[in-house]
């Protein structure tokens, strides 16, 4: 395996290219690789100074993947998937970042990536059918196509808490962690938030800090990860099955993960059988807890059985009954917020140096230079604050770019009441602008690697077809987009998901429209829809020589 070192120096920015790719995470890297393979000129702009996207930024203690690494990895290169040795069932962030760097080096991608460069603006020039892309260093790049590989969980959200700027101790956000080790030894630390990032970092911070105070607004359901080193035999056995594992993940699974498909609902089993099945999954660990039965996301009574099981587990693990009660989620169905997986999260609250504070009942009033003050006047003295407050998910990173399509319309204006896309791939009025794992696609509800590869392949194939047929512009038709948005909403409404105030719904951002953003129909179903659309001549898209598209769009 290679070290995290560039092997080829970046070349200066191109003044024009076929495709501008925004972001050098797993989506941007593979997009670049595919486009190069087809002979397109492409240029990636990345605001960080390295590849890896979400894995570049999220360096908080305990950060690791919640999909098993043998599956959370690229499948496009047989050599790559055979040669890379994942060391653990769920790789930690440094190893995933090494993998991203290995891929960039192995496929010689760095020469077309410009680091430390944000894309600030992209304006579609209707006269020339080209995008004019403005970079943070002031350069302008012209491109026929723009691909937003900006990531769904990459725009860290600072909470709007009075006095935060005046806190004199160190402040960290899990989503934008420093690149050096942070040692909490000898410090009184506060963690605000109890989502996946907090649940992974809290047990580790608790081991270091003099005292850790966790400020919880909403408790989360969490399942043990049961992380463990992978042996050579386990890796070999998995690799031997890769053709089937990858096929299943792409075509059959709802969430892009190879696992057993449940054939019955939770209420079809007697209580004792149900408990035995939940217990077996709890012992196995991981996200597949939610696929014990086929109706946990659909039927409230079925869901209650799984939620109740996890609540009982919390009672068993946490010794103080009051703390256990506070840690038990009961205001939303299990799985409707992204389920967490952890290592010793609940047990951490048995430590004498850890305190849980219920800020739903007693909210944070303000932050003083050396403490958090609660509504009842209590002051919690702190030396360091960790904000595990999440992201402006799915749309946040797109919204930071000033994107202007036909007639000068901005994407932010168009999406003011919620994101609108056709298939999550394009938005009407924004020709030749593609999104990878955008709202309206399975995206964050799936193994992101599977969804990224599917989108990249679809887009790359599409650009190849356009070139072969002499087509210059492509855009989503408005009626196709409306039909798709309605379908995405309808499928979501048939599930329990909209019942939770989740970031899937935009509920964590004050003022953000409440729309269930990802497509919940399943990755296999979705892939088939996309393939069928392409097979029918890219049905629902305007795809024609320049002058034809312009006339049609004007009607």
Q: Kindly state the smallest distance separating residue 444's Cβ from ligand N01, in Å.
A: 6
Encoded one letter per residue, x for contact with ligand N01 by CB under 6 A and - for no contact, window 384-413 reads: ----xxxx----------------------
Tokens coding 113? 């990536």
Residue corresponding to tokens 């955008």: 438
**Of 121 and 217, which CB lies nearer to ligand N01 in the complex structure?**
217
**Of 343 and 432, which CB lies nearer to ligand N01 in the complex structure?**
343
Identify which of 248, 304, 241 has the alpha carbon closest to the alpha carbon of residue 278: 304
Tokens coding 181? 């080790």
CB 191 within 8 A of CB 388: yes
Q: Kindly state the smallest distance separating residue 442's Cβ from ligand N01, in Å.
A: 13
Q: Kindly state the smallest distance separating residue 201's Cβ from ligand N01, in Å.
A: 9
Q: Kindly state the smallest distance separating residue 222's Cβ from ligand N01, in Å.
A: 10
DSSP 172-199: EEGGG--SS----BT-EEEEE--SHHHH
Binding ligand N01 (rule: CB under 6 A), the pick from 42, 153, 297, 515 is 153
Q: What is the 3-state secondary structure (H, E, C) of 145-169?
A: EEEECCCCCCCECCCCCCCHHHCCC
**Of 197 and 397, which CB lies nearer to ligand N01 in the complex structure?**
197
Q: Kindly state the smallest distance separating residue 100's Cβ from ligand N01, in Å.
A: 14
Half-sphere CA count of 324, side-chain side, radius 13 A:
14
Encoded one letter per residue, x for contact with ligand N01 by CB under 6 A and - for no contact, window 172-211 reads: --xx----------------xxxxxxx-x-----------
End-to-end alpha-carbon separation of the chain, Å? 56
Q: How far apart are CA 399 and CA 420, in angstroms?
A: 13
At a CB cut-off of 8 Å and minimum separation 6, what does 330 contact? 307, 311
Number of residues that bind ligand N01 (CB under 6 A): 26
Q: What is the 3-state secondary structure (H, E, C) of 423-451?
A: CCCECCCCCCEEECCCCCCCHHHCCHHHH
Tokens coding 370? 């050396």
Encoded one letter per residue, x for contact with ligand N01 by CB under 6 A and - for no contact, window 298-327 reads: ------------------------------
- Ranked by CB distance to ligand N01, the top (closest) residue is 195
Q: Kindly state the smallest distance separating residue 477's Cβ from ligand N01, in Å.
A: 32
Binding ligand N01 (rule: CB under 6 A), the pick from 106, 217, 226, 235 is 217
**Of 151 and 431, which CB lies nearer to ligand N01 in the complex structure?**
151
Q: Kindly state the smallest distance separating residue 111's Cβ from ligand N01, in Å.
A: 30
Encoded one letter per residue, x for contact with ligand N01 by CB under 6 A and - for no contact, window 357-376 reads: --x-----------------
Burial of 26 (0-12, 13-18, 19+ CB in 10 A): buried
Q: How far apart are CA 395 and CA 487, in angstroms?
A: 19
**Of 338 and 527, which CB lies nearer to ligand N01 in the complex structure?**
338
Q: Kindly state the smallest distance separating residue 279's Cβ from ligand N01, in Å.
A: 23
Q: Kindly state the smallest distance separating residue 91's Cβ from ligand N01, in Å.
A: 10
Encoded one letter per residue, x for contact with ligand N01 by CB under 6 A and - for no contact, window 112-151 reads: ----------------------------------------
Identify which of 192, 189, 203 has the alpha carbon closest to the alpha carbon of residue 64: 203
Q: Kindly state the smallest distance separating residue 46's Cβ from ligand N01, in Å.
A: 20
**Of 58 and 432, which CB lies nearer to ligand N01 in the complex structure?**
58
Identify which of 92, 116, 142, 109 has the alpha carbon closest to the alpha carbon of residue 6: 109
Q: Which of residues 496-535 bind ligand N01 (CB under 6 A)?
A: 503, 508
**Of 364 and 462, which CB lies nearer to ligand N01 in the complex structure?**
364
CB 203 within 8 A of CB 348: yes
Q: How far apart are CA 333 and CA 241, in angstroms?
A: 35
Q: Kindly state the smallest distance separating residue 364's Cβ from ligand N01, in Å.
A: 6
Tell me: does residue 488 bind ligand N01 (CB under 6 A): no
Q: How far apart are CA 386 and CA 212, in angstroms?
A: 10
**Of 193 and 424, which CB lies nearer to ligand N01 in the complex structure?**
193
Binding ligand N01 (rule: CB under 6 A), the pick from 139, 218, 294, 315 is 218
Q: Which of residues 224-283 bind ligand N01 (CB under 6 A)?
A: none
Backbone torsions φ then ψ of 474, nearest 5 degrees: -145, 140
Tokens coding 153? 């969980």
**Of 321 and 510, which CB lies nearer to ligand N01 in the complex structure?**
510
Q: Are strands 130-135 and 119-125 parallel, antiparallel or unpaired?
A: antiparallel
Q: Which of residues 41-100 bind ligand N01 (CB under 6 A)?
A: 65-66
Half-sphere CA count of 425, side-chain side, radius 13 A:
30
Q: How far apart are CA 118 and CA 141, in angstroms?
A: 12
Tell me: does residue 437 bind ligand N01 (CB under 6 A): no
Q: Kindly state the smallest distance separating residue 500's Cβ from ligand N01, in Å.
A: 9
Q: Kindly state the smallest distance separating residue 60's Cβ from ligand N01, in Å.
A: 8
At a CB cut-off of 8 Å and minimum separation 6, what does 23 contact? 44, 45, 46, 53, 148, 149, 150, 151, 154, 397
**Of 117 and 348, which CB lies nearer to ligand N01 in the complex structure?**
348
**Of 71 and 174, which CB lies nearer to ligand N01 in the complex structure?**
174
Identify which of 258, 219, 437, 259 has the alpha carbon closest to the alpha carbon of residue 339: 219
Tell me: does residue 338 bind ligand N01 (CB under 6 A): yes
Residue corresponding to tokens 């990878």: 436
Q: Kindly state the smallest distance separating residue 177's Cβ from ligand N01, in Å.
A: 11
**Of 28 and 390, which CB lies nearer to ligand N01 in the complex structure?**
390
CB 336 within 8 A of CB 499: yes
| Contact positions vs ligand N01 (CB under 6 A) | 65-66, 153, 159, 161, 174-175, 192-198, 200, 217-218, 338, 359, 388-391, 444, 503, 508
């Amino acid at each position: 395996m290679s070290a995290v070192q560039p092997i080829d120096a970046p070349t200066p920015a191109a003044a024009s290219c076929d495709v501008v790719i925004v972001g050098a995470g797993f989506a941007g890297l593979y997009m670049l690789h595919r486009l190069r393979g087809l002979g397109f000129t492409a240029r990636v702009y990345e605001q960080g100074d390295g590849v890896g996207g979400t894995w570049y930024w999220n360096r908080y203690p305990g950060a690791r993947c919640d999909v098993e690494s043998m599956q959370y990895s690229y499948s496009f290169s047989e050599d790559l998937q055979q040669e890379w040795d994942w060391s653990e069932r769920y790789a930690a962030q440094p190893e995933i970042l090494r993998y991203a760097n290995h891929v960039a080096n192995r496929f010689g991608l760095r020469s077309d990536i410009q680091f430390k460069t944000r894309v600030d603006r992209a304006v579609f020039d209707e006269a020339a059918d080209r995008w004019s892309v403005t970079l943070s260093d002031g350069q302008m790049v012209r491109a026929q196509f723009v691909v937003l590989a900006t990531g769904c969980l990459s725009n860290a959200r600072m909470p709007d808490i009075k006095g935060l700027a005046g806190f004199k101790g160190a402040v960290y956000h899990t989503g934008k962690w420093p690149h050096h080790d942070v040692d909490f030894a000898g410090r009184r630390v506060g963690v605000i938030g109890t989502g996946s990032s907090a649940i992974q970092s809290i047990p580790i911070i608790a081991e270091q800090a003099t005292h850790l105070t966790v400020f919880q607004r909403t408790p989360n359901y969490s399942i043990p990860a049961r992380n463990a080193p992978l042996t050579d035999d386990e890796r070999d056995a998995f690799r031997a099955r890769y053709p089937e594992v990858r096929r299943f993940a792409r075509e059959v699974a709802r969430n892009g993960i190879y696992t057993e498909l449940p054939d019955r609902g939770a209420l079809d089993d007697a209580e004792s059988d149900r408990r035995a099945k939940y217990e077996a999954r709890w012992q196995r660990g991981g996200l597949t807890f939610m696929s014990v039965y086929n109706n946990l996301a659909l039927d409230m009574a079925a869901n209650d059985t799984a939620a109740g099981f996890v609540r009982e587990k919390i009672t068993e693990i946490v010794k103080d009954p009051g703390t256990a009660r506070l840690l038990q989620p009961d205001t939303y169905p299990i799985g409707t917020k992204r389920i967490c997986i952890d290592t010793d999260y609940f047990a951490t609250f048995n430590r004498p140096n850890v305190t849980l504070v219920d800020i739903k009942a007693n909210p944070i009033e303000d932050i003083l230079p050396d403490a958090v003050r609660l509504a009842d006047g209590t002051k919690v003295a702190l030396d360091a604050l960790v904000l595990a407050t999440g992201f402006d998910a799915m749309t946040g990173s797109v919204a930071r770019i000033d994107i202007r399509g036909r007639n000068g319309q901005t994407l932010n204006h168009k999406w003011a009441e919620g994101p609108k896309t056709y298939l999550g791939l394009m938005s009407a009025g924004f020709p030749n602008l593609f999104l990878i794992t955008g709202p309206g696609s399975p995206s964050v509800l799936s193994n992101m690697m599977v969804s990224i590869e599917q989108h990249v392949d679809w887009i790359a194939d599409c650009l190849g077809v356009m070139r072969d047929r002499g087509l210059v512009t492509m855009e989503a038709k408005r009626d196709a987009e409306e039909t798709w948005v309605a379908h995405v909403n309808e499928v979501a409404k048939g599930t329990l998901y909209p019942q939770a105030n989740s970031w899937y719904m935009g509920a964590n951002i004050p003022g953000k429209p409440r729309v269930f953003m990802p497509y919940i129909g399943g990755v296999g179903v979705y892939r088939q829809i996309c393939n069928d659309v392409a097979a029918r001549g890219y049905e629902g898209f305007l795809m024609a020589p320049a002058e034809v598209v312009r006339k049609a769009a004007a009607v």
